[in-house]
Structure 1
Amino acid sequence: MASERKALPVIDKTRCTGCGWCVAACPPHVLSLEVEKWKKFSHLHDEAGCTGCARCAVKCPFEAITMARATLQV
């Protein structure tokens, strides 16, 4: 099994407002909004499909998304 290193979005739930801008900016559509305790948060639901483009982090007006290097099993 080969592994590929790339950056994945890490969402800070204390800063995320659930506005959905990151979801709209994601070209491969791997982000979604989820409800937890009656509050919406952005969630990366498909790590393998993420290209690491960082458009979600750039688009977030609340600086709730950072990109972190991760090792994916391919």
Structure 2
Amino acid sequence: MSKHQVRDTSGALAYLTDCTLATVTNLAMKKSASKSELRRQINIAQIAIDWMDQFGVDYSHTRAADVKTLGGKVEIWAEQFKP
């Protein structure tokens, strides 16, 4: 999802969730990344996805859709990026 696609609060939440998941991906791929920072970003992303579900926000065009295909758990999704 791109910033220019944001039109309302639901889109804003989707965009920020997608950005957080991108950060999770980047941190998970690094051998030297701080484990506590990765854990923090995973927790933030999980809360965002849970809120998207709770508020009925469409996440079909975000990384959250990929997370949902793996049971909706960001921690499980992030494992695929670890070296």
TM-score (norm 1): 0.30
More strand by share: 1
Higher relative contact order (CA 8 A, sep 6+): 1
TM-score (norm 2): 0.28
